[in-house]
Structure 1
Amino acid sequence: MENQFETSTQATLGTGFIIAYLAILLLGIIIGWKIFVKAGKPGWASIIPIYNVIVLLEIVGRPTWWVILLFVPFVNFVILIIGCLDLAKSFGKSTAFGIGLFFLNLIFAAILAFGDATYQGPSAQLPNKLANN
């Protein structure tokens, strides 16, 4: 009897973890979609692997060839941090918010997606725009 109880408990826990995982995955898709739409890009682009990174690099104003750097060990962490900082600045948020995007991505991305932040253009190109004006 004890083995039967353990098996049903494990199955219940396994099912619970799968449901929680799928819920978090769905939330991530909705958040990414909303951020892309706020930035004037098609929402569906957020669910296509690799292409979503290319579009995100366009949103923050970084060159698209940076996607290659994400495949380089250790360099990818630096690129991710820069990307999070640029994304925060592109929506008018602070450097601290960008650090929050890196460490607690789902929470800070949800704030970005569903909060009052508006897209202000690619932050990495802001100095160039100011120099041209």
Structure 2
Amino acid sequence: MDTYNYDESMGSGFLAGIGIGGTLIGLAAAVLAIAGLWKMFEKAGKPGWAAIIPVYNFIIMLEIVGKPLWWIIGILIPCVNFVVIIWVTNLLIKSFGKDVIYTVLALIFPYIIYPMIGFGSDRYLGPTAAEAQGGDSFNQFKNYKNPFDNNDKPQDPPKNDDRPQDPTV
């Protein structure tokens, strides 16, 4: 006859409690991120309810940042989708006047940064994409100066012909 092991049932209950607690914390974080994104969309003049529809919210983000609609293909391609999501998040955060550090924080803690921007005093400044402002993405590199090219200081020491020459050499 098998005996009932009381220790195993206690461990199972404990793990179930951790699972339920983690699920509730995850749901609360998702609700905070969606609420913040909802308010950010409203500040940008877009419908806030679009934040709860998975692919449509990315289309709205593309409109807010000024990128063309065909960029939606980027989130459908594996590995490329990470780059596209980071890039669009960066442009979204910059559209509200925030710096790159907020992009990094928004990628790690969207449940903090999105409500902070959405419910805070930040205003929508307009699309940050260069294409939406009448330029292209590479205008910033046209007048790029290489920091290693310092024309003020010559690389080779100057030859001084005013020195007396040693005739014996």
Cα deviation, residue 33, structure 1: 0.9
Cα deviation, residue 4, structure 1: 2.4
Q: Distance in 2 between matches of 1:25 and 1:81?
A: 18
Cα deviation, residue 17, structure 1: 1.5
Q: Which amino acid aligns with 1:35?
A: M
More helix as a share of residues: 1
> CA offsets, 1:19-61, max 9 Å, x none?
1122112112211111111111111111112111101100110
Q: Which amino acid aligns with 2:55?
A: I
Gaps of 5+ in 2: 1-5, 136-169
Q: Which amino acid aligns with 1:128?
A: G
Does the 8 A contact of 2:127 with 2:133 survive in 1? no
Q: How does 1:12-91 map to 2 (within 5 A)?
A: 12-91=17-96
Q: Secondary structure at the match of 2:134?
A: helix
Counterpart of 1:127 in structure 2 is 133
The answer to whether structure 1 residue 109 and structure 2 residue 114 are counterparts is yes
Q: Distance in 2 between matches of 1:7 and 1:99?
A: 37
- Give the structure with higher Rg (CA): 2
Does the 8 A contact of 1:57 with 1:63 survive in 2? yes
Q: Distance in 1 between matches of 2:124 and 2:92?
A: 9
Cα deviation, residue 126, structure 1: 5.6
Q: Which amino acid aligns with 1:33?
A: W
Q: Distance in 2 between matches of 1:5 and 1:24?
A: 29
Q: CA, structure 1 residues 71+115, in 2 after alignment: closer, same or farther (shift >3 Å)? A: same
Runs of 4+ in 1 over 6 A off after TM superposition: none
Q: Secondary structure at the match of 2:93?
A: helix
Q: Distance in 2 between matches of 1:19 and 1:108?
A: 20
The answer to whether structure 1 residue 2 and structure 2 residue 33 are counterparts is no
Q: State the TM-score, normalizing by the size of structure 1.
A: 0.84
